[in-house]
């Protein structure tokens, strides 16, 4: 039994020395020291020894077992250290190598123009308010003085979700909500998406963006409207830009105007973009209709106001000389990388 123990101990020591990874050393531990290991088997055979030989043999087996456990632990630590060293060498960073290009996102041209417009109007004292994209007929039409038989209520123009529920066709609905909850003086802009049943082409989309503006206070006149919009146009297009007001009609303003600026493509000389006129229409505006003020609980005898609606998509295409509005919605990286 002593010879067998010596042979097993020598075999185990040689096997431990030859191990190259932690899985091998674990297999050896199980082979010699496990419940069914070879050293454990010797302990189970000690019942066949005489009472005088058992203590001596037990001491020899325990000594061999402790020595082997120490060797295995030492070998495990050695292998872990080697593995850590190899990992560090493999992950070493060569600081002389050129760095990888880190690509970062950029603002969409629509967002860039929107941020500029918000900054311009905030510098003139306007607050930014928001409203729901799913609106009721009450806020989208009735309170804006749009009669029941107005063409804007036709299914061809408006996306109806239910009898009295629709996708808003203009952010003016947010103005109504603002006038219902705030007392004058009011000075707000309402940016957001709007929806109309338009055919998709180079200048039209069923989903587009607007910024509505509203001012309500005592003594507000068309001169105030003209001053605000001229300042806005000069900030967006430059101080040399000319602004033209043309009479128009909107149910919620009286009088109403459409606002043109000199074409940014040709400087007012006439070109394909402005169809030879030298002017580009950028927004509609006017004095808030007394009926709209009444519907919101504001006395039109005491207060007056003006409102305007700016098409953000058209403003963006004219500012960056983009010929097709569809490019703003296609997410073509080649296009977006230009901004």
Residues 6+ apart with CB under 8 A from 31: 37, 38
Rg (CA), the chain: 41
Cβ 139 vs Cβ 167: under 8 Å: no
Look up residue 91 and give its two tokens. Answer: 């992950």
Condensed to tens digits (0 to 9), the pLDDT of residues 310-328 reads 999 988 888 888 888 899 9
Q: What pTM was computed for the model?
A: 0.67
- What fold, for 109-336? BirA Bifunctional Protein; domain 2 (3.30.930)
Report pLDDT for 239. 86
Please check the confidence at residue 215 and state whether its pLDDT lies above 70.
yes
Burial letters for 73-96: b for 16+ Cβ neighbours within 10 Å, e otherwise?
Answer: eebbeebeeeeeeeeeeeeeeeee
Condensed to tens digits (0 to 9), the pLDDT of residues 3-48 reads 776 777 777 777 777 777 777 777 777 776 766 666 666 666 666 6
Cβ 124 vs Cβ 228: under 8 Å: yes
Cβ 319 vs Cβ 264: under 8 Å: yes
Domain ranges within the chain, ordered by starting residue: 2-90, 109-336
d(CA 167, CA 164): 11
**Among 312, 281, 303, 81, which residue's Cα sits nearest to residue 190?**
312
Please report which confidence band the pLDDT of residue 54 belongs to, taking 50, 70 and 90 as the band edges: low
């Amino acid at each position: 039994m002593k010879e067998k123990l010596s042979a097993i101990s020598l075999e185990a020591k040689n096997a431990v020395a030859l191990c190259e990874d932690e899985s091998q050393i674990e297999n050896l531990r199980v082979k010699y020291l496990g419940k069914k290991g070879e050293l454990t088997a010797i302990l189970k055979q000690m019942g066949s020894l005489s009472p005088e030989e058992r203590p001596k043999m037990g001491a020899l087996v325990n000594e061999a077992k402790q020595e082997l456990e120490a060797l295995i632990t030492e070998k495990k630590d050695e292998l872990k250290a080697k593995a850590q060293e190899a990992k560090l060498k493999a992950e070493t960073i060569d600081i002389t190598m050129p760095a990888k290009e880190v690509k970062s996102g950029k603002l969409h041209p629509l967002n860039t123009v929107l941020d500029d417009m918000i900054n311009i109007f905030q510098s003139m004292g306007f607050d930014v308010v928001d409203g729901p994209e799913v609106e009721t007929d009450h806020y989208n039409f009735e309170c804006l003085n749009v009669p029941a038989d107005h063409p804007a209520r036709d299914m061809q123009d408006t996306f109806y979700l239910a009898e009295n529920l629709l996708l808003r066709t203009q952010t003016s609905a947010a103005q109504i909500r603002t006038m219902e909850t705030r007392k004058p003086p009011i000075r707000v802009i309402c940016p957001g998406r709007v929806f109309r049943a338009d055919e998709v082409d180079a200048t039209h989309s069923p989903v587009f963006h607007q910024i509505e503006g509203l001012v309500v206070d005592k003594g507000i006149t068309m001169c105030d409207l003209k001053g605000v919009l001229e300042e806005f146009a000069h900030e967006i297009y430059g101080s040399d830009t000319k602004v033209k007001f043309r009479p128009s009609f909107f149910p919620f303003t009286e009088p109403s105007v459409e606002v043109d600026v000199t074409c940014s493509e040709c400087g007012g000389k006439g070109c394909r973009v402005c169809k030879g006129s030298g002017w580009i229409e950028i927004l509609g505006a006017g004095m808030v209709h007394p009926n709209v003020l009444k519907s919101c609980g504001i006395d039109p005898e005491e207060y007056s106001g003006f409102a305007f609606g700016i098409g953000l998509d058209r403003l963006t295409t004219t500012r960056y000389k983009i010929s097709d509005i569809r490019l703003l919605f296609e997410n073509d990286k080649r296009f977006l990388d230009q901004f």
